[in-house]
Structure 1
C-alpha cells in the first residue's frame, strides 16, 4: 500500500512540474487597455504577460488609423521580466490602432496575438 501511495505522489508531482515547465506567455493586460478607448494619446505601450519573457525575441508592430506602421522605440522588460514596454511617438492621432505582438517565454515557447485600442480625445 505504501508503494502505491508513493507512486501516486510521484506521478502527481511529475504532472505538476511538467505543466509548470510547459507554460506559455499569455497576454494578461495592456496599457492602453485591450480593445479600450483612451482620451490622451499614449506615449508608451505596456504588455503584461503571464510568464517571464526573452527580450531578444519579443516585440510589437503597431499600425495606425491610416494603416501605416507606427515607429516604436526603447523595448525593455519590467516587473520581473513579465511586462514588455515600448515607447510610442508623441502626439498619436485620433483613431484606432492595431497592436500585433509576439513573445518568447524564458522556457522557449512562442506566442503571438493582436488587439486594438482607440485614441478618442
Structure 2
C-alpha cells in the first residue's frame, strides 16, 4: 500500500471516530460553576449542553454534606432544549455539593458526568 493511500485511509478513520465522539451531548457550562464557591445558595442547578436533550431521559442528582440527597423538582429544558434546569425543592445550607448528571441527546447518545461546588457558610 502506498503512503498516500495509507494516509488517506487513516484520515478517513480518524474523521469517522471524531464525528462519533462529537455526537454526544457535552456539558459546556453550569450554574453554579464547577469548583465554584457561592455566597448565596442557588434555587436551581442549570446545566448547558452542546446538543439538544431528551427530557424524559435526562436529569441530575444533587448530594450535599454527609452525602445527603437534595430534593429536586421536575427538570425542564430551555435554550432550544440545550439547558437542563433542575429546581431545588429545599434551600441549600453551607457545605460542599456534588451534581451527578445524566442526559440523552435527541440523536440517541447517552452522556453523564459530575461536578461540585460549595455554598459558603
Question: How high is the TM-score relative to the length of structure 1?
Answer: 0.81
Q: CA RMSD in A?
A: 2.1
User: Which sections of structure 1, spanning at least 5 residues, go unmatched?
Assistant: 1-11
Q: Can you list the C-alpha shifts for 1:73-117, whole angstroms capped at 9, x where unaligned?
A: 031000000000011134211000000000000000000000001
**Offset at 1:34?**
1.2
Q: Can you list the C-alpha shifts for 1:1-45, whole angstroms capped at 9, x where unaligned?
A: xxxxxxxxxxx9xx69x938x611000010011111100010001
Question: How high is the TM-score relative to the length of structure 2?
Answer: 0.81
Q: Deviation above 2 Å: which 4+ runs of structure 1? A: none
- Report if aligned partners of 2:71, 2:90 keep a CA contact under 8 Å in 1: no
- Report if aligned partners of 2:70, 2:90 keep a CA contact under 8 Å in 1: no
> Partners of 2:32 and 2:89 in 1: how far apart?
14
2:4 corresponding residue in structure 1: none
> Partners of 1:24 and 1:67 in 2: how far apart?
29
1:41 corresponding residue in structure 2: 41
